[in-house]
Structure 1
Amino acid sequence: MDEITEIYNKLGGIISEDDFRKRVDEKVDQMSGLCDMKTAAMLVAHDLGVTDTVKDIIKIKDITAEIGNVSFVAKVTSILDVREFNRNDGTIGRVGTVKVADETGSIKLTLWDERADIIKNGSIEVGDCLEITGYAKDGYSGTEINIGKYGLMRETDQKVEVSMQSQKIADIKDGMSDINISGKLLDISDVRNFQKKDGNPGRVMNILIGDETGKIRVTLWDEKVDSTTSLNLDDAVEIINGYARTNNFSQQVEVQIGNHGVLRKTEANVEYKESFTPIADIIPGESYSIKGFVSGLGELREFEKDDGTSNMVSNIYVSDDTGRIRIALWGDHALLVDELDIETPIEIIDTYSKSGYEDIELSAGNRTRISIK
């Protein structure tokens, strides 16, 4: 007796075996290869009301390595890219990782070989609610679920509410992954088009977000750029499944949103207040925001860059109660020198400090925001 007939025999003859096998084939097609014939047969039996072919659904908090085979319903909270490795027999294996959660906790899914392909082809996304059947085992960071040849991951209409752990911006460090943060949208850059190493076109842009602990720049790649089209400055946004990297130019930690990350508007109440540094406290090699009044104006100068394109620069001086500093305004910012007057109140946000000819000076580039009060 084969496995399909064994499962059919538990139906008590409510449909014919030919009809049952037809439904099993349809289920395999419907799942696009995400389950084998045995699992499809159990699902068809479950759809027909025969539930003893599938293990009882349990909560994540109750999953232990001793249980072995387990079935549960959870929401996808993060996805990591698929990694290839060499097996001892010389073949190449594939493994991917998905983190899921329900209202009782979270757990990691390890997807092997063809199961991992649902990550590569985009069949699974953060926020999907899934019915999962796999094998519980001890992993490096606690109990995890192996989804192998006989495992199951399929979307379900059941809604799963989860309380996802969220970080504050000040706690983001280089190398962190699975980052979930909320912030107020402070700035949106233009989209930059480029050619990838494989010859395909790519897109990249930056946004700046802040919370009560600080602010951080966020880089969005390719289709994630489109998630900014409905956003406006001062919107509260949340980032799910980001990862942190140090920018080689600014040497500041930034959050990256790749294929498996999410940026979306949220109704959460996010507080942000810009922190201004007294001019006397500025040291070289850091990013600062200052406020004061214009105490000196230079001339606008145009020049040609090494790549043959033209640019502009002008210099102004800003003073506060603690001191006075020169600021180089680059690009479009340079045009402000013709709009300013001595004693004009001004805020210059996100400038970079460096040692100048005489003393420390600030550089206002394309990431700088300038507000004339």
Structure 2
Amino acid sequence: MDEITEIYNKLGGIISEDDFRKKVEEKVEQMSGLCDVKTAAMLVAHDLGVTDTAKEVIKIKDINPEIGNVNFVAKVVSVFDVREFNRNDGTIGKVGNLMVADDTGSIRLTLWDERADLIKNGNIEVGDCMEISGYAKDGYSGTEVNIGRYGVINTTDQNIEVRLDSQKISEIRDGMGDINVSGKLLDISDVRTFQKKDGSQGRVGNILIGDETGKIRVTLWDEKVDSTKEMKLDDTIEIINGYARTNNFSQQVEIQIGNHGVLRKTDAEVEYRENFTPIADIIPGESYSIEGSVSGLGELREFDRDDGTTNMVSNIYVSDDTGRIRIALWGDHALLVDELDIDTPIQIIDAYSKAGFNDEIELSAGNRTRITIM
């Protein structure tokens, strides 16, 4: 029995199977390839007013494509933008997505047309608890639930506990979405403003978080930068619905948090310990953290950039029990040369290594570097 016949058998013979199949073909064409045959058959059944679903309310962990129609309650944890598309019949279709969760896991919802308007009009927000009836199917990233014209998504007064699948920092790769991760707050950068293409002003900021597997930089856009106002270093924070991108400048993977992501403090316990590299093991072209003692001090020097602004640079040397290395301190870091003495214990965190004068390896401490005088 194929998927179309399986769904047709639930219609009770209100139309012939041939007519049903023709409507399914029309629906696939109408949706311009945005849904598969099984989803199209489900949507046709709904269009015919057939919503015969099992009334049993199940948990998210029990939802799979073989079930078909499902009823469950869940809390909204992420909201994605609605996008419009042109159907082959010339009409405009709409589709939007939510991530919802209960105490057994999370799942993506796909809302079509007027149901997608609930997202577009702001009627559904992160934190809402919902009663949901829809059709389970295989999606791009696992099982998802489709909600069309005759699907149900209503708010409920039920208090729903949530368990979200989360990642460790070392597991995050370029292109990943739906990232949920917790980490210890290691650094908060200044907020920068920029001009958007539409002429409006945008804001961007960065934080650095770490867990027992590593650390990663997080980029916050626009109003999300305000999330850090009540945060302080060593707080544990939680990110929900982030996405990963490679930074074109540093070539390192970062987490991005846009309009539909969440950044908040949490009481969860997260362990983080900085990984310091012996100076003798440093090679060019990588980011390193070292600890040692100041073994040389250079002069503070000002210079003009190509854009006419002025910058500062100074040099120090740091030694550990494996070797000695020169470190170029840029910008405000350069002023530290006047605060340091020989044998001052120091930590240089996230400095970039390169081949310097006479091909000797040196570290460059820029605005992404943290320096701690012990």
TM-score (norm: length of structure 1): 0.81
Task: Tell me by how many angstroms 1:298 deviates.
Answer: 0.9
Cα contact 1:65–1:143 (8 A) shared by 2: yes
Q: Give the total of aligned pairs.
A: 322
Contact 2:54-2:69 within 8 A present in 1 as well? no
Q: For residues 360 and 123 of structure 1, do their structure 2 counterparts lie closer, same or farther at Cα, with a shift above 3 Å needed?
A: farther
SS of equivalent residue, structure 1 residue 81: coil
Corresponding position of 1:368: 369
Q: Which residue identity lines up with residue 76 of structure 2 in the other structure?
A: V
Residue of structure 1 in register with 2:151 after alignment: 151
Distance 1:346 1:98 in 2: 47
CA contact (8 A) 1:126 1:261 kept: no
Contact 2:106 2:165 survives alignment (8 Å):
no
SS in 1 for 2:364: strand
- Write out the 4+ residue segments of structure 1 that deviate beyond 6 Å after TM superposition: none
Unaligned runs of 5+ in 2: 1-51
In 1, Cα distance between the equivalents of 2:184 and 2:120? 32
Q: Distance in 2 between matches of 1:201 and 1:332?
A: 26
CA contact (8 A) 2:54 2:70 kept: no
Could you give the per-residue CA deviations for residues 183-241 of structure 1, whole angstroms, max 9, x where no partner exists? 11011011111111111211110001111111110011111111111111110111111
**Distance in 2 of aligned mates of 1:364 and 1:159:** 49
- Give the Cα–Cα distance (whole angstroms) in 2 for the partners of residues 280 and 206 of structure 1: 31
Distance 1:148 1:235 in 2: 42
Indicate how the Cα distance of structure 1 residues 338 and 149 shifts in structure 2: closer, same or farther if over 3 A, else same: same
Give 1:70 deviation, angstroms.
3.6
Q: Give the conservation status (yes or no) of the 8 Å contact 1:125–1:260.
A: no
C-alpha distance in structure 2 between counterparts of 1:304 and 1:313, whole Å: 11
Alignment match, 1:241: 241
Distance 1:245 1:139, change over 3 A: closer
1:224/1:118 CA distance change after superposition, 3 Å: farther
Equivalence for 2:115: 115
Offset at residue 336 of structure 1 (A): 0.7
**SS of the residue 1:244 aligns to:** strand
Name the SS of the counterpart of 2:80 in structure 1.
strand
**Separation in structure 2 between the aligned mates of residue 345 and residue 141 of structure 1, nearest angstrom:** 49
**1:31-81 CA distance string (max 9 Å, x none):** xxxxxxxxxxxxxxxxxxxxx999453333444556554432101233333
Unaligned runs of at least 5 residues, structure 1: 1-51
Shift, 1:151, TM fit:
2.6
Question: Is the CA contact 1:182–1:239 (under 8 Å) kept in the aligned structure 2?
Answer: yes
Contact 2:313–2:328 (CA under 8 A) maintained in structure 1: yes
Structure 1 residues 350 and 77: CA distance shift in structure 2, 3 A: same
Indicate the SS of the match to 1:114.
Answer: helix
CA distance in 2, matches of 1:68, 1:285: 52
Once residues 198 and 191 of structure 2 are traced to their aligned partners in structure 1, the CA distance between those partners, rounded to angstroms, is 20
Query: 2:90 corresponds to which residue?
Result: 90
- In structure 1, what is the Cα distance between the partners aligned to 2:170 and 2:68? 40
1:78 corresponds to: 78
Question: What SS does structure 2 have at the residue aligned with 1:159?
Answer: coil
Q: RMSD across aligned C-alpha pairs, in angstroms?
A: 2.1
Separation in structure 1 between the aligned mates of residue 338 and residue 162 of structure 2, nearest angstrom: 54
Distance 1:140 1:275, change over 3 A: closer
Letter of the aligned partner of 1:257 in structure 2? I
Give the Cα–Cα distance (whole angstroms) in 1 for the partners of residues 288 and 122 of structure 2: 40
Cα distance, 1:372 vs structure 2: 1.0
Judge conservation of contact 2:53–2:70 (CA < 8 Å) in 1.
no
1:242-262 deviation per Cα after TM superposition (whole angstroms, max 9, x unaligned): 111111111111001111111
